[in-house]
Amino acid sequence: MKLAIYNGLILLLIPILQIRLLFKSLNDIGYRAFIPQRYAAQLTPIKRQKEQLIWFHAVSLGEVIASQGMIKSLLNKFDVVLTTTTPTGLRKAKEIYKDSVAINYAPWDLGPLIVKFLEFYQPSALLIFETEIWPSMITAAHKKQLPIFLMNGRLSDQSFNAYLRVSWFFKDILQKITFIFVQTEEHKNRFLKLGLNTSNIAVAGSVKFDAPGSQPKLLDLPKFILGASTHPGEEEIVLRAFQRMRPQHSHKLFICPRHPERSMEVLKIAKKMNFKSQLYSQLDQQEYEVCIIDSAGLLLDFYNGAELAFVGGSLVPRGGHNLIEPAVMGTPIIIGHQTFNFEEIADNFTKSNACIRVTNEQELLQGILLILNDADFATQLTANAKNLVLQNEGSTQTQVSYIIDRLGVLH
């Protein structure tokens, strides 16, 4: 009955979600592409080469990037169909895997659509990355007796409290999951409080510590500092801090909004503050002070070239973003205090003197100047970050080996 009510609500919401996609497509036409796949139609065919096929769900760009080491390892043993929900995630997946993986938008979480998807691909298992707990997806796979694994699981305090309010519903869903790998003990405890059995969960660390081995391009740019994965409200803070550091340093500022469709909005903010500003796609030899990166998939290149990076989503309540990418690139890191999506990773970086943590514009300015004015401090900061990454590598292999063993037993 509970799931029937949930499916009824999803059915009522689909027209609203469809309209929302059309509005979003005004900024990114990718939201309008492949709409039939949201209804489990016109799915990407796959030429079966292995005995078993895995359905791997990674919701958006960040998860697609973070899971690539895991998926590439799984491809040695299984065929893979990968689903995502955002255009940036879909484009990045196609860039990474070409034709080696069947890539689709995930269908809406409505029972009949999920069943249709499952019947088309006939997977041997469902792997869900991080916190995508979709009731119909999990229930339909469970009814078909598929093993279901939550990989690299995390549950922020905010998400935990939200799930706790509807634990009468989500406890049943969680217990349908075969096994959960979580990043930290804290995440494990939260899942257990929601009703998961102790025997069905283990701490494996984060696969984000396992660098995917990408080779960044060398950028032919003057010295610059980077505002990475920024959200509304942060660009103004970064721009004001940059404005105040200009008398001491001639660096450029590059800003990479978390959502590239906001690039024009951020450009207007910079121009309103009287900065000579350009979009990166239109960058020429004219003098500029601020450049807005308006394409996805370039962040590693800019981390590699930056004198320092402020990692966004952390001075506004968005939960922060991945610190490990700039750490691997050897870039001095500054983060804000709103890091609940990466709480233990951010805490470890802070305690290990592997980043600077700030709470406001003034502290951001001080952090920028400290890194730029003290080369020894900057070098030590990046060395500490790289050491921390090395100490925590190996989660990908742990989780992939378990999946291979379990599916070998089950099938």
What CATH number is given to the structural domain containing 385? 3.40.50.2000
Question: For residues 123 and 54, what is the distance between their CA atoms, to the nearest angstrom?
Answer: 5
Residues 46 and 191 in one domain: yes
Residues 246 and 122 in one domain: no
What average pLDDT does the segment 55-81 reach?
93
What CATH number is given to the structural domain containing 127? 3.40.50.11720
What is the pLDDT at residue 103? 97
SS3 169: helix
What is the pLDDT at residue 114? 98
What average pLDDT does the segment 345-352 reach?
94
pLDDT in tens, 181-218: 999 899 999 999 998 989 999 999 999 888 666 688 99
Residues 60 and 103 in one domain: yes
Number of structural domains the chain divides into: 2
Question: For residues 402 and 178, what is the distance between their CA atoms, to the nearest angstrom?
Answer: 12
Q: Determine, yes or no, domain membership for 370.
A: yes
Q: Determine, yes or no, domain membership for 286.
A: yes
What is the pLDDT at residue 198? 92
What is the pLDDT at residue 213? 61
Question: For residues 278 and 288, what is the distance between their CA atoms, to the nearest angstrom?
Answer: 7
Residues 353 and 406 in one domain: no
What average pLDDT does the segment 374-388 reach?
96
pLDDT in tens, 153-178: 998 888 899 889 888 888 899 999 99
Please give the order of strands across the beta sheet that includes 148-153.
102-105, 79-84, 53-57, 125-129, 148-153, 179-182, 201-203
Question: For residues 8 and 1, what is the distance between their CA atoms, to the nearest angstrom?
Answer: 10
Beta strand residue intervals within 113-164, DSSP E? 125-129, 148-153
What average pLDDT does the segment 272-286 reach?
91
Residues 292 and 174 in one domain: no
Pairing of strands 201-203, 290-292: unpaired
Q: Determine, yes or no, domain membership for 11.
A: no
Q: Determine, yes or no, domain membership for 214.
A: no
pLDDT in tens, 227-239: 999 999 999 999 9
Residues 403 and 375 in one domain: no
What is the pLDDT at residue 26? 84
Spell out the long-range contacts of 401-406 with Cβ–Cβ below 8 A and sequence spacing 24 or more.
402/179, 402/181, 403/54, 403/74, 403/125, 403/127, 403/149, 404/74, 404/77, 406/147, 406/149, 406/178, 406/179
**225, 306 contact by CB (below 8 A):** yes
Question: For residues 395 and 407, what is the distance between their CA atoms, to the nearest angstrom?
Answer: 19
Q: Determine, yes or no, domain membership for 291.
A: yes
CA 67 remoteness from chain centre: 9
Residues 150 and 266 in one domain: no
pLDDT in tens, 28-64: 888 888 999 999 999 999 989 999 999 999 998 889 9
The whole domain housing 387 covers 224-391
The band of 410, judged by pLDDT with boundaries at 50, 70 and 90, is very low
The band of 129, judged by pLDDT with boundaries at 50, 70 and 90, is very high
Residues 136 and 267 in one domain: no
Q: Determine, yes or no, domain membership for 3.
A: no
Residues 232 and 377 in one domain: yes
Mean pLDDT (the chain, rounded): 93
What is the pLDDT at residue 23? 86
Q: Determine, yes or no, domain membership for 216.
A: no
Residues 262 and 197 in one domain: no
Question: For residues 71 and 80, what is the distance between their CA atoms, to the nearest angstrom?
Answer: 8
Q: Determine, yes or no, domain membership for 351.
A: yes
Residues 195 and 107 in one domain: yes
Statement: residue 411 has pLDDT above 50: no
What is the pLDDT at residue 132? 81
**Nearest to 371, CA basis, from 352, 389, 355:** 355
What average pLDDT does the segment 82-104 reach?
94
Residues 70 and 202 in one domain: yes
Which stretch of 112-126, 131-145, 283-297 has the lowest confidence by average pLDDT?
Answer: 283-297
Residue 385 per-residue DSSP state? H
The string of DSSP codes covering 235-276 is HHHHHHHHHHHTTT---EEEEEESSGGGHHHHHHHHHHTT--
Statement: residue 338 has pLDDT above 70: yes
Question: For residues 250 and 323, what is the distance between their CA atoms, to the nearest angstrom?
Answer: 26
pLDDT in tens, 382-397: 999 999 999 999 999 9
